[in-house]
Structure formats: C-alpha cells, structure tokens
C-alpha cells in the first residue's frame, strides 16, 4: 500500500491523519481498474464496501445513467459510503468517466478505522455533507424546472398575465366557492387591427404589454387578470359587488387613455382605448353563462361608441 501513499495522503477520508494510522489498516485492500463507461454502482445494489478513487474521475447520476451528473468525483474522493452509513441499497449511478484506479475498502475495515480514530469519522461526515449539498442543489434545480414548466402552462408568454386556460380554471373554481358577488370584466382594445396595420405587429405587441403592466399594477393580489385572447383581456374580481367593480373598470379605462406606450426604438406610440363589459355572478351562475353575459355587455360598449364600460 506504500506505493499509493501520495494518493492516499490527498484523500478526503484521511485528511489530517499521519500515514501510519491508515496504511496498516489498508494493507490487503485490492486496487482495481475502472474503465470508461464501466458501471461501478447502480441503483438497487447492496454493497458492503466503499471505493476510494486513486486516479481518474467518475460522475454520479441520480435519475438515470444518461441524466446530467449531480457531482463529479475524482482522485482522493470516495463513493458508496452512503449505502454503508444508511445500511441501504444504492440509490445512484456511478460510471467510469476516464480510465481510473480504485481502492476497495470493505465495510468491516471502514468501521474499525472509524472506531479507532475520530478524525476519520469527522472526515467521513464532511464527505457526506458534500454529497447532501450536491443532492440538495440538484433538487433545487429540479424544483426550478418544475416551477418554470408550471409557469409556462399558466402564463401568457407575451404579456406575463395569466393565459386563457388558467383564466378558465380560475373562474370555474371561484364560482364554485363564491359566497359573495363575483364580477367578471371583459376588455377589448378599440380598433386594434387598425393599430397593428399602422404600427406593425411589434407596435401592437408593445401596446399589449403596456396594457398588461398597467392591469398588474391596478388589481388586488386575489384578483385574476388574464389575456383572454388576441387584444381581449379578462379580469375576475372575487367578493366584489357590481358598484365597486364598475368603479374599478372605470379607473382602468381612464388610466388606459393616459397610458404611455413606447416602441422598440424608444419612440412614443399612440395611446389606446378600451371597451369593457361587466357581469355579476348569481348563486347558480356557471362560467359559460357569466362569460356570455359579460361578452354581451362588451359588445354593447362597442356598439354605443367604444371607450366605455357597460354593466
């Protein structure tokens, strides 16, 4: 084992330990090669020894052998210790990354060294902490990916408001548990086709985004502001009587008239106006009926001159 003294002295397991403490214990431990792409550990295995990497590297995969590694272990590090400490089967993949040499330390020998020297126990705890930190980081990354997917399923990509699917689900749920009045507001940008024709779709997109930001700033946390489709937007106002909802709708209408819209070049674009239709829920109102009623009020606002609220 003396021929591997340089590699062992750099090991995290034997950090701060004089060689005489561990060289005698390791006498008789086999040294084996690990080829590139060779599987060293796979989930479900029962292993009663750890591997100390003398040279080379090996990635650790959690989800599958082909998933991105959560950690790359190299010379001086060990793998397989978690199964021994927890007395459980393996839960990860360890695969050869480049031709490597491994020192195999059996479970009995490892526990004997731990019992004899508390520094080894401390070093092993440090190694386990690093592994747990890597897994935590992996879980956090997965959580971010899940949250991102969830957001993409409910958020409109252009405006950042809720999309039509989320609006439909929210309206159904809110109507199902509403004890107080709920008001639905449908909004449509007046003459938006002409706006797009005059300023191009990029100009129209800037108008849509500007309106969306305004709506976000004017609604309560428990209100639902959504892009209903195209240039049409929707607002669900839970626990709101019609009189209060009309006041909210009117404030939005007036604010939109003064909305500053800038194009990609920073130049000002013309302002826009909104037509709004409002409908209040009844105890037995279903989503389709409420939407139809608000839509009828919206078209009434369009027919009677636009840039107005109808309830």
Q: In what order do the strands lie in the sheet with 49-55?
A: 31-34, 100-106, 49-55, 78-79
* Set 42, 77, 231, 243: catalytic member: 231
Distance in angstroms (rounded) separating the CA atoms of residues 138 and 168:
34
Active-site annotation holds for 77: no
* 186 phi and psi angles, rounded to 5 deg: -105, 135
Length reported for the chain:
311
What's the CA gap between 304 and 308, in Å, rounded? Answer: 8
Ranges of beta strands (E only) in the chain are 31-34, 39-41, 49-55, 57-61, 71-74, 78-79, 93-95, 100-106, 183-189, 224-229, 232-237, 261-262, 268-269, 274-280, 309-310
Query: Does residue 220 contact residue 183 with C-beta atoms inside 8 Å?
Result: no
CA-closest candidate to residue 49, choices 7, 1, 3, 111 = 111
| Residue 29 per-residue DSSP state | -
Q: Exposed (0-12), middle (13-18) or buried (19+): which is 254, by Cβ within 10 Å?
A: exposed
DSSP state of 27: T
Are 186 and 295 within 8 A, CB to CB? yes
Question: Hey, which bits of 62-157 come out as E strands?
Answer: 71-74, 78-79, 93-95, 100-106
- Catalytic residues, which ones? 231
């Amino acid at each position: 084992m003396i021929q591997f003294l340089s590699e062992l002295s750099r090991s995290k397991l034997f950090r701060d330990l004089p060689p005489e403490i561990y060289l005698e214990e390791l006498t008789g431990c086999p040294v084996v090669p690990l080829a590139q792409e060779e599987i060293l550990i796979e989930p479900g295995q029962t292993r009663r020894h750890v591997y100390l990497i003398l040279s080379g590297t090996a990635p650790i995969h959690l989800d599958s052998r082909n998933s991105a590694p959560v950690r790359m272990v190299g010379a001086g590090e060990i793998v397989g210790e978690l199964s021994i400490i927890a007395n459980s089967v393996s839960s990860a993949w360890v695969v050869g990354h480049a031709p490597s040499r491994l020192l195999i330390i059996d479970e009995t020998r490892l526990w004997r060294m731990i019992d004899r020297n508390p520094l080894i126990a401390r070093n092993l705890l440090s190694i386990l902490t690093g592994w747990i930190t890597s897994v935590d980081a992996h879980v956090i990354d997965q959580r971010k990916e899940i949250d991102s997917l969830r957001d993409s399923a409910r958020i409109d990509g252009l405006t950042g408001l809720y999309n039509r699917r989320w609006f439909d689900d929210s309206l159904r749920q809110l109507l199902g548990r509403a004890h107080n009045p709920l008001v639905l507001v449908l909004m449509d940008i007046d003459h938006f086709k002409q706006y797009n024709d005059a300023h191009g779709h990029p100009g129209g997109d800037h108008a849509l985004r500007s309106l969306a930001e305004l709506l976000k700033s004017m609604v309560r946390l428990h209100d639902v502001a959504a892009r209903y489709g195209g240039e049409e937007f929707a607002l669900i106002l839970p626990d709101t009587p019609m009189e209060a909802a009309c006041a909210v709708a009117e404030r939005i209408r007036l604010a939109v008239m003064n909305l500053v819209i800038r194009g990609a070049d920073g130049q000002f674009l013309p302002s826009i106006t909104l037509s709004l239709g409002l409908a209040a829920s009844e105890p037995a109102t279903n989503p389709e009926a409420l939407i139809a009623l608000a839509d009828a009020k919206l078209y009434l606002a369009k027919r009677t001159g636009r840039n107005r609220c109808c309830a």
